[in-house]
């Protein structure tokens, strides 16, 4: 299958003019078109691109009741030569396969996945922002659509791709609270998968943290609340004793593509890295001794988001003020320059979208 074979039904009412590209926020605008492919009788059928809008389904679709729904989040960038590339779609596809397998959902081929992304971008090419710090966010989602009330693995699914021009996810440095009561995911659960339920289950504790003035929860291990896991919408990294330290991957942590990329860039930059358990006590000691100099969240949406405050057991600990020479700012710039074509893409991360 090639993008040329994907049928496109174009909208007659573009909403592009309604978008203020200098004030995008995150996820506020969905582009004119969406891609949909259906899975029935054991196979994926030919995708179609159509105007974004409502789709008809019964309220008995299994994903609504039993949670078979997984998604991905990627970004496409317009570089300085006007070319458009998707950042590491192959790695996102590999993660999607792991999420699908965990949720007993059918695999989707890399070819169908990437061709779909490219076809949607080519259709909504005018929606790809060129403003500094912005991107076209790509949201593929697969969910169960068989209409039945019995508790079962669905035999039918939809693969939908939406896109949205976005700016930064966090407008300012974030305040996080170490969670010592609620749990996002335990070892052996679905924590590593990008499934809808992980997000729904996090809303309540995150809402409580927001009421106390925090932006995000810093999740800890489910058994003892002793070790740092991740922070809901992003993985977390610390500069401790001059080294880049991040929690090692477990079945309760999302294997972030930005996390993976930053670890590789840190090595390129000669920054020592450690993927290991990080205890809350170690962070507290790092604050007290002054050895914890940076903390930041990393993710497709969050990119590199400075953490200003970490609340541990009710006490706010402040990180030193961030500066252009900090590791997080230098690595963020390097990532940006690779995506924009200002620096050689030595890892081959940019996937160029073929445009006619």
195 binds ligand COI (CB under 6 A): no
Q: CB-wise, 137 or 238, nearer to ligand COI?
A: 137
Contact by Cβ (8 Å): 254, 235: yes
Query: 197-201, long-range: CB within 8 Å, 24+ apart, which pairs?
Result: 197/67, 197/69, 199/232
Tokens (6 digits) for 81: 């030569």
The structure tokens 């057991």 sit at 313
- Is the CB of 87 or the CB of 146 nearer to ligand COI? 87
Cβ-contact 223, 215 below 8 angstroms: no
| Residue 67 falls in which region: left (phi positive, over 0), alpha (psi -120 to 50) or beta | left
Could you give the CA distance from residue 123 to residue 84 in angstroms, rounded to a whole number? 13
Residue with the closest Cβ to ligand COI?
A: 73
Q: Closest by alpha carbon to 275, among 305, 252, 307, 243?
A: 243
State the nearest-atom distance from the C-beta of 257 to ligand COI, in Å: 9
Closest CB to ligand COI among residues 74, 319: 74
Cβ-based nearer residue to ligand COI, 162 or 233: 233
Stretch that binds ligand COI, among 110-118, 183-191, 271-279, 295-303 (CB under 6 A): 295-303
Tell me whether residue 27 or residue 51 sits nearer to ligand COI (CB atom).
Answer: 27
Interaction residues for ligand COI, span 124-163 (CB under 6 A): none
Q: Which one of the spans 94-102, 244-252, 299-307, 335-343 is the region binding ligand COI (CB under 6 A)?
A: 299-307
Q: Does 246 bind ligand COI (CB under 6 A)?
A: no
- Contact characters 53-82, ligand COI, x per CB under 6 A: --------------------x---------
- DSSP-H helix ranges across 27-109: 62-66, 89-102
How many Å apart are CA 155 and CA 160, to the nearest integer?
17
Three-class HEC string of 135-166 = EEEEEEEEEECCECCCCCCCCCEEEEEEEEEE
Q: Does 24 bind ligand COI (CB under 6 A)?
A: no
The residue from 218, 301, 308, 319 that contacts ligand COI (CB under 6 A) is 301
Among 89, 140, 297, 299, binds ligand COI (CB under 6 A): 299
Judged by CB under 6 A, the stretch of 16-24, 156-164, 222-230, 294-302 that binds ligand COI is 294-302
**Given the complex with ligand COI, which of 146 and 349 has the nearer CB atom?**
349
d(CA 122, CA 355): 6
Decide if residue 196 touches ligand COI (CB under 6 A): no
Q: 274 pairs with which residues across the strands?
A: 245
- The answer to whether 96 contacts ligand COI (rule: CB under 6 A) is no
Helix/strand/coil percent split, the chain, to 5 = 25, 30, 45
Q: Does 300 bind ligand COI (CB under 6 A)?
A: yes
Q: Is 34 in the site for ligand COI (CB under 6 A)?
A: no
Candidate ranges 6-14, 146-154, 283-291, 297-305; the one touching ligand COI (CB under 6 A): 297-305
Minimum CB separation of residue 300 from ligand COI in Å reads 4
Number of amino acids touching ligand COI (CB under 6 A): 5
Q: Does 304 bind ligand COI (CB under 6 A)?
A: no
Among residues 315, 317, 43, the alpha carbon closest in space to that of 307 is found at 317
Long-range CB pairs of 58-64, under 8 A, 24+ apart, other chains included: 58/147, 60/147, 60/148, 60/149, 61/143, 61/144, 61/145, 61/146, 61/147, 61/154, 62/144, 62/145, 62/146, 62/147, 62/148, 62/152, 62/154, 63/143, 63/144, 63/145, 63/154, 63/196
Regarding 233 and contact with ligand COI (CB under 6 A), the answer is yes
User: In whole angstroms, how close is the CB of 137 to ligand COI at the nearest point?
Assistant: 7
Instruction: Give 195 or 301: the residue with its C-beta nearer to ligand COI.
Output: 301
- CA neighbours within 13 Å on the CB side: how many for 90? 6
Query: Shortest Cβ distance from residue 18 to ligand COI (Å)?
Result: 22
What residue ranges bind ligand COI (CB under 6 A)? 73, 233, 299-301
């Amino acid at each position: 299958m090639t993008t040329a074979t994907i049928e496109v039904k174009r909208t007659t009412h573009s909403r592009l003019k309604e978008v203020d590209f200098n004030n995008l926020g995150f996820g506020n605008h969905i582009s004119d078109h969406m891609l949909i492919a259906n899975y029935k009788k054991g196979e994926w059928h030919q995708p179609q691109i159509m105007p974004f809008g409502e789709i008809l389904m019964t309220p008995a679709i299994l994903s609504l009741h039993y949670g078979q729904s997984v998604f991905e989040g990627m970004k496409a960038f317009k570089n300085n030569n006007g070319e458009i590339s998707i950042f590491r779609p192959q790695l996102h596809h590999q993660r999607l396969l792991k999420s699908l397998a965990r949720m007993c959902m059918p695999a989707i081929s890399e070819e169908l996945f990437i061709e779909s992304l490219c076809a949607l971008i080519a259709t909504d090419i005018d929606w790809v922002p060129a403003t500094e710090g912005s991107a076209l966010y790509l949201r593929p989602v697969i969910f169960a659509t068989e209409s039945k009330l019995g508790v079962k693995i669905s035999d039918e699914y939809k693969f939908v791709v939406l896109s949205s021009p976005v700016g930064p996810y966090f407008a300012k440095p974030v305040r996080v609270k170490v969670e010592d009561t609620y749990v996002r995911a335990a070892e052996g659960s679905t924590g590593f998968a990008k499934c809808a339920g992980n997000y729904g289950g996090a809303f309540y504790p995150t809402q409580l943290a927001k009421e106390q003035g925090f932006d995000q929860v810093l999740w800890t291990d489910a058994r003892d609340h002793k070790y740092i896991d991740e922070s809901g919408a992003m993985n977390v990294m610390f500069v401790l004793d001059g080294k880049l330290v991040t929690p090692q991957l477990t079945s309760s942590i999302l294997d972030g593509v930005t996390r993976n990329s930053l670890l590789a860039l840190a090595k390129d930059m000669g920054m020592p890295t450690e993927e290991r358990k990080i205890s809350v006590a170690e962070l507290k000691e790092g604050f007290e001794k002054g050895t914890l100099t940076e903390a930041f969240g990393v993710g497709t949406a969050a990119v590199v988001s400075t953490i200003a405050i970490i609340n541990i057991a009710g006490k706010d600990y402040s990180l030193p003020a961030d500066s252009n020479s900090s590791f997080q700012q230098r690595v963020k710039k390097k990532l940006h320059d690779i995506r924009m074509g200002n620096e050689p893409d030595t890892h081959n991360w940019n996937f160029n979208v073929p445009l006619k």
